[in-house]
Amino acid sequence: MSRDQYTFTNPAELYADFDPEKQKQPEPGLEAKLHPKPDLGEDTYRGSGRLQGRKALITGADSGIGAATAIAFAREGADVAMSYLPEEEEDAQHVAGIVKEAGVTVLTVPGDLRDAAYCRDLVQQAVDGLGGLDIVVNNGGKQVFQESLTDITDEQFDDTFKTNVYGMFWVTKAALPHLQPGSTIINTTSIQAYQPSEILVDYASTKATINAFTKALAQQLAPKGIRVNAVAPGPIWTVLQVTEGQPQEKIESFGQQTPIGRAGQPAELAPAYVFLASAESSYVAGETLAVTGGSPTP
Ligand code: NAD
Ligand code: MG
């Protein structure tokens, strides 16, 4: 391993050869068909036992930020249950293979987060298959831009909220009875919660909701020894962006407006999830950790 996440580097010069082209895929998209390929940390993430023996459930774990988190968790010693849509089996199997190489247990549980019954079954399968649960990462999400509010169909509005908000609610509610003190819940919000784009009205609204949900629940569960936090990514190169997450004309310059001057890679998000999952963040609750390439958040 020539470079790992601890290597002293100029962050503005990392990924200097990253040069995305216009491209489109139908939702939910396959990372296997995305070019350039996002960095999931598969060649770089070095674990050091920070999650030894922990048992994690991660939604949207087949690709992007969820996949990078699954790989990092596994290398830190956690068993991992992966949630994703059935159409993403190819990506999921690829990531599950990398997770397994870390010597931990991996479980793949495809299904639709818009379905409450699936969310409950997912948690049960994770608990049964891993022998318990003490980390929940609500990360699965839907983002489809529309230039006008009148172009957001009732179905899209419903799907975005069902996936991003209801799925998180259903998974968390089902998980709660299984979580012992010391357990951690991490939700994926976004810079969009603070700087909503005019073309992401429904999506940005769900991300603000996720922030409020996180901060309210954190206060409720902290006395029980369960910490709830969130991660707010900025522009990260994932398949979400080419499945109508952004207009085509924004793909080529994606992320260049950030102070660091480039898009982030999923590998650069994973350490934030590891920190919030592990006991080293024992006094951190109700926090949203921004990983935005320097774009300010409140
Ligand atoms: P991604 O497409 O790789 O991951 C999103 C995953 O969500 C998919 O892989 C899919 O498994 C899951 N998903 C979507 N709809 C689902 C459904 N109905 N049922 C079950 N699973 C479903 O993209 P990503 O960028 O890694 O996204 C992960 C999270 O990060 C999302 O919550 C997204 O909103 C958030 N986020 C991404 C960015 C970014 O720039 N990429 C920025 C801020 C926040
Ligand atoms: Mg995917």
Q: Which helix (H) or strand (E) holds 156?
A: helix 154-161
- Residue 2 is predicted with a pLDDT of 78
Nearest in space to 246 (alpha carbons), one of 256, 235, 257: 235
- Residue 42 is predicted with a pLDDT of 98
pTM given for the model: 0.99
**In the chain, what are the domain boundaries?**
53-291
- Residue 1 is predicted with a pLDDT of 57
d(CA 4, CA 45): 6
| C-alpha 22 – ligand 2 centre gap (Å) | 19
pLDDT tens readout for residues 223-261: 999 999 999 999 999 999 999 999 999 999 999 999 999
Instruction: Give residues (CB < 6 A) around ligand 1.
Output: 28-29, 60, 62-66, 84-85, 88, 112-114, 139-143, 163, 188, 190, 233, 235-236, 238-241
Cα 282 to its chain centre, rounded Å, is 21
Q: Which CATH superfamily is domain 53-291 in?
A: NAD(P)-binding Rossmann-like Domain (3.40.50.720)
Residue spans of the chain under pLDDT 50: none
